[in-house]
Structure 1
Amino acid sequence: MSLGLNNLLRNIIINVSSNKIGRKQHIIQQKLDLNFYNNQVIDYRLYLAKDQTGKWLCTGWVAKNGVPGSIVSNHSNGGTVQPAFYTLQESLGLTSETTEDLKQQFFTVACRAAECLEKQSGKLFGDLGVDMAVDKNKHIWIIELSHRFVDDTLPPCYK
């Protein structure tokens, strides 16, 4: 794409965004080619907590499945919560061993992201929720980190 066209598109995005979201700074993430299963988008919520030494640990994770045809998985938009390991394995057609490897990658990336968030922000957290997804090429993506991660709508077996 030519430099002129890139600048034109950038200016259009800035002008449209300014009218919609105001003048404060925002981060716009590239479009993700996420894995869909049964016409449902799937992402994962990882629950992180620090142990007594201050090390981040993943204390649980769930799969969030969107309503068929929707691009969001939020519970408030009709999404459902499912066991993460099974959902990851089924949606990508993986063996148990490969699923376990991918799970460990999720946990490692989430904990490293939490460390980076604290380092860059200068703030300390005890608990975080990390929303992540996997694309069709089995690449892991961070969608969001949140210190307001508790979701009381989750069944106790997922907490």
Structure 2
Amino acid sequence: MEGDDLLESSGIAIIRGITGEKGVIVVRAMGKEELTDEELAERTNLKVNIVRSILYKLHDHGLATYRRERDKKTGWYIYYWRLTIDRLKDVILQRKRLVIKNLKERLEYELGSKFFFCPCNGKRYTYEEALEHNFSCPDCSGVMLEIDNSRIIEALKSQIEKLEKELSSEENQ
């Protein structure tokens, strides 16, 4: 998958997740050019400190690099930034692995526990919490009912399977 294709598809969602909506604006303004943070601030009408914050977040995730040169007049460093969108595929795969891991942990939790809820306020309690309150809601004293979490379990299994197939397919590209 090319960097441009990634940027248009799930890449934007990843960038938005890392940097927020303003980060998407900055990334689109950069394109394939090497620009200073001041130039980006001008192009995007964002404050320089916001642009810098976004660039540092992208850099922390390996999605931007910079080079610095000393300004001969002022002695200050000027930072020239460039996107490394080719790393985006790795970031997407890494995030999918993390989501799969979290879903598997949640699945284990759902499989290994019984849950109860209060029909009045909908609050969910583990078996241990319900037992501690004698299966009576601590808020309204209503009787707690057992939850059939089989739908949640099936949804988790389905989502894990789907993501694992996607991950396997993407890793083999």
TM-score w.r.t. structure 2 length?
0.26
Give the structure with the larger helix fraction. 2
Give the structure with the larger strand fraction. 1
Higher relative contact order (CA 8 A, sep 6+): 1
Point out the structure with max Rg over C-alpha. 2
